Structure 1
């Protein structure tokens, strides 16, 4: 019999994943300058899928079915489109605004989960998400305003797609082994990346794969994909998506912290206030009750 971990363990694991993704911004910065986005996603996720399938071969073979492959492919499509639209958006807006608009998924997730699972978000869910969004704005958008152009629209679309992916993981993990599902997602996502790269981008050439680039790709495949996505998908099978999305918003905090440590970005009062708001949002989501009384007096969980 498999022993389930306490909910706090899954939340701590999500924080570990956000630390990895925070550093991955530094790693991606150098790689995407050499390898076009679709090719990068293709190499990253196909390699991750092959490795994860090899590691979990018995689980994948046991869970393998047409419905599982379809579910994994749907997850791969949602995640690939999210990453692709995020990258296109980044080409037409600033990194700060791109990071902020991407993080709006923490507000979108509770409403999508309401539609899918028919569980209405509480006022604390929405309040915490809005508070986190304000913190992310202070962390990400350092100066100037924000107009709604092509880059911003594409980035908002990416936020919707990331939210869709999170909700679908929570839903599909009820019926399928979540790690086997993740392996299929990676393989599907990798194939989509390579096909899109072949159709719409120029292959960078084998000379582009220097030892440094290969090392960064290995980090992105093993740690930022297998480890971090594995943590996220397993956690989403055990804790509500609305809470998970707030913990995942810490990615923006760690991204800026690594920028401060590695690129000399100044740790301003604005950043400190933004970090504080995000942490307060997480405390609210953890402290206030997420249960609502039903009309008949019974208590039901609300997300």
Structure 2
């Protein structure tokens, strides 16, 4: 295995460990406060790397599209993390992980509506299977008795949709492509943390300052340094040698890793409805992705 694939798999593995340290940190830290400090610290730690690589992308100064970055930060950073983290604080790690697997389905649907990309009939089948799986996972007898769990599932699902808006926006770049990846990420992290500041301030006023334990501090540092900083750097370095479409296939392993670690480290249980629903989501995603890949091969042959 070459170095690029090793970094790619390592990044996916670290992202697959995100739910557990987040749940541990949420034991003592409120969700908005957690995301504010996670994004702020990650953005600040990226700035030295931005400085070191400032002359390796372009020989002349590049204007920063602040309005565009603010919009991308709102969807891909502040909005996504706000809904995702708050949702995870209300529901189980298993549910959150399975629901997060629907991201490719949302991307497929929104690309058709926004980018006018064609969806094949078989891909619609994948969408229906995925939606059916999510309904089986979220609407269970115990979740109907616990309204906060159902609300958490909905927020995690909404976070996948708003992240899809961010991904689709990036398919039509409007100036951000001229920035280095380090600068782009640092700025979106910092802008996202600024957007979350009012929510974190409200939490501090309402609940008081968070209490820190050794477990929560170590979990938080792991989230920032490993799941955010290190995983991002390895992912982008791997993409310099591996095509993005091929690398994207590996992202489907993230929900499976999060489910596994939630069961092993959080002692969470899975009902038969959760297992069946999770399988429907995975089958729907795999079916839709397979048909999309097959269509790409046909187009490549026609172009040749």
Instruction: Give the TM-score of the pair, scaled to structure 1.
Output: 0.71
Q: 1:142 to 1:154 in 2, by over 3 A?
A: closer
Instruction: Give 1:59-98 correspondences, 5 Å limit.
Output: 59=53, 65-78=62-75, 79-90=77-88, 96-98=94-96
Is residue 132–residue 277 contact of structure 1 (8 Å, CA) maintained in 2? yes
Residue pair 2:123, 2:287 contacting (<8 A) in 1 also: no
Q: Is 1:179 equivalent to 2:182 in the alignment?
A: yes
Q: For 1:35, which of 29, 53, 65 is the aligned residue?
A: 29
How many equivalent pairs are there?
A: 287
Q: Which residue of 1 aligns with 2:289?
A: 285
Q: Which moved more, 1:181-190 or 1:268-277?
A: 268-277
**Structure-2 separation of matches of 1:126 and 1:16:** 32
Match in the other structure for 2:219: 216
Distance 1:82 1:233, change over 3 A: farther
Query: In 2, are the aligned partners of 1:111 and 1:120 still within 8 Å (CA)?
Result: no
- Greater shift, 256-265 or 181-190, is seen at 256-265
- Structure 1 residue 205 corresponds to structure 2 residue 202: no
Shift of 1:39: 1.3
**Distance change in 2, residues 1:254/1:292 (3 Å):** closer
Q: 1:239 aligns with which of 237, 240, 244?
A: 244
Report the Cα distance in structure 1 between the residues aligned to 2:233 and 2:13, rounded to whole angstroms: 14
The separation in 2 between residues aligned to 1:81 and 1:98, in whole angstroms, is 16
Deviates more, 1:285-294 or 1:165-174: 285-294
Structure 1 CA distance, aligned partners of 2:98 and 2:114? 25
Secondary structure at the aligned position of 1:56 is classed as helix
Deviation of the 1:53 alpha carbon: 1.9
The 3-state SS of whatever aligns with 2:27 is coil
Partners of 1:197 and 1:97 lie apart in 2 by 25
Aligned residues of 1:96 and 1:141 also touching (Cα < 8 A):
no
Alignment TM-score, normalising by the size of structure 2: 0.71
Match of 1:3 in 2: none
1:76-130: per-residue Cα shift (whole Å, max 9, x none)? 2112112212344456655555444444332211122234443323445544555
Whether the 8 Å contact between 1:107 and 1:129 is mirrored in structure 2 is yes
What stretches of structure 1 of length at least 5 have no aligned partner?
1-5
Distance 2:262 2:139 in 1: 13
